[in-house]
Amino acid sequence: MTAKEFKKRLKGIVPVQLCPYTKEGEVDIEGIKENTKFIVDFAKDGNKDVVLITNGSTAEFYANTIEEQKRVIKTVIDTVAGRIPVIAGVSQPAARRTIEMAKYAKEVGADCVMVASPYYHHASKEGMYQYYKTVADAVNISIMIYDNPDTSGTMIPPDLMARLSKIDNIVATKDNTPNAAAYAWKAMLIDPEDMILITGMGEVEYVGAAAYGTRYRGFVSFLANFAPPLSYAIYEAVEEGDFKKAHEALKRTFPLWTFMAKACSRRESISVFPEWLRAPTMFITIGKSAMDLVGLRGGPYHPGQLPIEDLTDEEKQELKEALEEMGII
């Protein structure tokens, strides 16, 4: 898929896959296939706007070896078989290793690669530009910038994102900046012909960001892994310009967010980041438990997933009640 074709297809809901493990702590390849097929089946029913991200932070790529990451990427691409676009996460701590992963993703058929801001060592403003330019110059595939301050410790300002958008094969951003003003400036500064803006923080942020001239064309969602119709209803309402309808659809998701807030509050954070910049990792465990409850493959918890924590039996019951209130089960 060319960059031009990919930009045209990049809209709608963007499920960011979770990675199921076996009870022995190995990547559950059959589980990945089953979960992927579930998304593909939903997308083709009515030719819906769905794009899939795999091997991202939600898939715990950092916990897997390079070979395991490659197996995840190839399994998803082979299962999708060209029916919806696939973005492969290829983020590594340094440009050289990111380029290696991006070349592999291109080789096995990914339509785009997602590259997070360099983590561990923090880049300067010019260093950030040079990092992405170096990766982009080295590969022949579309690139989505993943701007996530919680994992990288940096935040790409709107003027720098606009500059990066002028690099030919940098075609999109997954925007996790928790700042409404930043959404507005990016919508005004970035030519939609250069870069597609996708909200990285799910349904709630999307409704707000899309209000800026609907320049944000979709959103990344962990909810869409197990309840894609609910996510899609929010997207469709915004596409129709009916924000009242979008708010009503959004209300249906509140039991899940309420439960998530409770689960996170029971685990004391020692992050040095201010609270508004934190992205609690409990959503990964909650997502996997929800997938099990709806009949998909979340997989058993394994201590090898630490620092990701498991839910208690009581919390799993609370989650079940939240999903029942939402009409998911």
In-domain check, residue 251: no
129, 156 contact by CB (below 8 A):
no
CA angle 299, 320, 255 (to 5 degrees): 120
Helix, strand, coil percentages, rounded to 5, for the chain? 50, 15, 35
> What's the whole-number mean pLDDT along residues 156-172?
96
CA 50, CA 118: separation in Å to the nearest integer? 27
In-domain check, residue 36: yes
Strand partners, 13: 50, 219
Is the pLDDT at 273 greater than 80? The verdict is: no
In-domain check, residue 186: yes
Looking at the structure of the chain, the number of domains it has is 1
Task: Write down the pLDDT at residue 321.
Answer: 98
> What's the whole-number mean pLDDT along residues 4-13?
94
In-domain check, residue 256: no
Query: Domain range for residue 27?
Result: 3-241
End-to-end CA, the chain: 37
Is the pLDDT at 46 greater than 80? The verdict is: no
Is the pLDDT at 276 greater than 80? The verdict is: no
pTM of the model as a whole: 0.95
> What's the whole-number mean pLDDT along residues 236-260?
94
Is the pLDDT at 277 greater than 80? The verdict is: no
32, 39 contact by CB (below 8 A):
no
Is the pLDDT at 184 greater than 80? The verdict is: yes
On average, the pLDDT of the chain sits at 93
The string of pLDDT tens digits covering residues 68-95 is 999 999 999 999 999 999 999 999 989 9
Give the amino acid at 136: A
At 62, is the pLDDT very low, low, confident or very high (cuts 50, 70, 90)?
very high
Task: Label residue 48 exposed, middle or buried (CB < 10 Å: 0-12, 13-18, 19+).
Answer: middle
Contacts of 284 (CB under 8 A, 6+ apart): 18, 58, 60, 222, 308
Three-state DSSP at 55 gives: coil
In-domain check, residue 80: yes
3-state secondary structure labels for all residues of 210-264 = HCCCCCEEEEEECHHHCCHHHHHHHHHHHHCCCHHHHHHHHHCCHHHHHHHHHHH
In-domain check, residue 90: yes
> What's the whole-number mean pLDDT along residues 281-303?
94
The string of pLDDT tens digits covering residues 134-153 is 999 999 999 999 998 878 88
Alpha helix segments (H runs only) across 45-201: 66-80, 95-108, 125-138, 149-152, 158-164, 180-189
At 193, is the pLDDT very low, low, confident or very high (cuts 50, 70, 90)?
very high
Closest CA to 301 of 104, 85, 19, 62: 19
Task: Write down the pLDDT at residue 40.
Answer: 96
91, 146 contact by CB (below 8 A):
yes
Least confident of 128-132, 173-177, 179-183, 224-228: 179-183
CA 260, CA 318: separation in Å to the nearest integer? 10
In-domain check, residue 146: yes
Give the amino acid at 193: E
Task: Write down the pLDDT at residue 44.
Answer: 87
Task: Write down the pLDDT at residue 216.
Answer: 87
Residue with tokens 């309840």: 227
Query: Do you know the residue count of the chain?
Result: 329
Is the pLDDT at 45 greater than 90? The verdict is: no
CA 157, CA 125: separation in Å to the nearest integer? 9
> What's the whole-number mean pLDDT along residues 43-52?
88
Phi, psi of 89 (to 5 degrees): -70, 130
The string of pLDDT tens digits covering residues 251-268 is 999 999 999 999 999 998
Higher pLDDT, 228 or 270: 228
The string of pLDDT tens digits covering residues 208-228 is 877 766 678 999 999 999 999
In-domain check, residue 309: no
CATH number at residue 123: 3.20.20.70
